[in-house]
């Protein structure tokens, strides 16, 4: 599987979040990090787009929306006669992911929170985009207040981000398979430590899945 990360950030070099994510993605195979240039070449951008199996849009949330550069890229590159399922359908069957950095706590994005609406509501246009182009939308990966996170949280984020880019899907079983593949590649002297870390991460992910299910039941 080939993953293309489309990075839209007006101050990329100054962003600690984006620099961390770029370093986290660097050792991965079949993953392309593509920061949007100021001047777009539609044909070159489309070649990258159509050559990927998973396309991840990565951006900070500014005033509850993506930076203008991402909208300009979509308008210029996602030409209807190529990507609309009723016409070209060149994106049909691909996966669409969203990695969104937030300047406020995750708890702010809910009814009664500081923002007052959910992140899913703010990102709803991408669900419509995926539906229109025949893509499978992955659950978004939000990153809240990166600079205030602990080193332990950063390590969990590194693993979760690499999984988001390369695991077959975002279901627990596939994330677990991702861990097993990494364990198989670990040097013998590191295998015991790697297995312990994997078990801890799996337990953490299992708890997170349970919390999401409970929250969905409460919201329903």
User: What's the pLDDT tens digit per position in 67-120?
Assistant: 999 999 999 999 988 888 888 789 999 999 999 999 999 999 988 899 999 999
CA atoms 199, 205, 211, 214: torsion sign: negative
Q: Is the Cα torsion angle 190, 184, 176, 108 positive or negative in sign?
A: positive
**pLDDT (average), residues 24-48:** 95
> In percent, how much of the chain has pLDDT > 90?
66
Write the pLDDT tens digit of every residue in 129-183.
Answer: 999 999 999 999 999 999 999 999 999 999 899 999 998 766 666 666 666 666 6
Instruction: Answer whether 0.75 is exceeded by the pTM.
Output: yes
If you average pLDDT over every residue of the chain, what do you get? 86
- HSE of 131, CA atoms in CB hemisphere, 13 A: 5
- Residue 219 confidence (pLDDT) above 60: no
What confidence tier does 211 reach under pLDDT thresholds 50, 70, 90? low
What is the pLDDT averaged over residues 4-22?
95
Bridge-based pairing state of the strands 141-144 and 54-60: unpaired
Burial of 101 (0-12, 13-18, 19+ CB in 10 A): buried
Confidence at 205, pLDDT banded by 50, 70, 90: low
83/134 Cα distance (integer angstroms): 9
Q: pLDDT at position 214, please?
A: 65
State how far the Cα of 58 lies from the Cα of 113, in Å rounded to an integer.
Answer: 24
């Amino acid at each position: 599987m080939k993953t293309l990360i489309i990075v839209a950030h007006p101050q990329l070099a100054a962003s600690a979040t984006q620099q961390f994510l770029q370093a986290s993605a660097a050792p991965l195979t079949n993953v392309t990090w593509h920061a949007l240039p100021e001047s777009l070449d539609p044909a070159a951008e489309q070649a990258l787009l159509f050559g990927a199996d998973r396309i991840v849009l990565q951006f900070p949330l500014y005033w509850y929306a993506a930076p203008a550069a991402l909208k300009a890229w979509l308008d210029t590159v996602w030409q209807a006669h190529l990507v609309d399922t009723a016409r070209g359908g060149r994106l049909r069957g691909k996966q669409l992911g969203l990695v969104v950095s937030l300047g406020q706590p995750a708890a702010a994005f809910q009814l009664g929170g500081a923002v007052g609406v959910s992140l899913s509501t703010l990102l709803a246009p991408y669900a419509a985009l995926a539906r229109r182009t025949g893509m499978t939308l992955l659950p978004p990966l939000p990153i809240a207040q990166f600079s205030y996170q602990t080193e332990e949280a950063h390590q969990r984020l590194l693993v979760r981000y690499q999984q988001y880019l390369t695991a077959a899907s975002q279901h627990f079983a596939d994330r677990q398979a991702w861990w097993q593949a990494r364990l198989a590649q670990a040097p013998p002297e590191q295998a015991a430590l790697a297995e312990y870390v994997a078990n801890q991460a799996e337990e953490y992910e299992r708890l997170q899945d349970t919390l999401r299910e409970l929250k969905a039941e409460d919201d329903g």
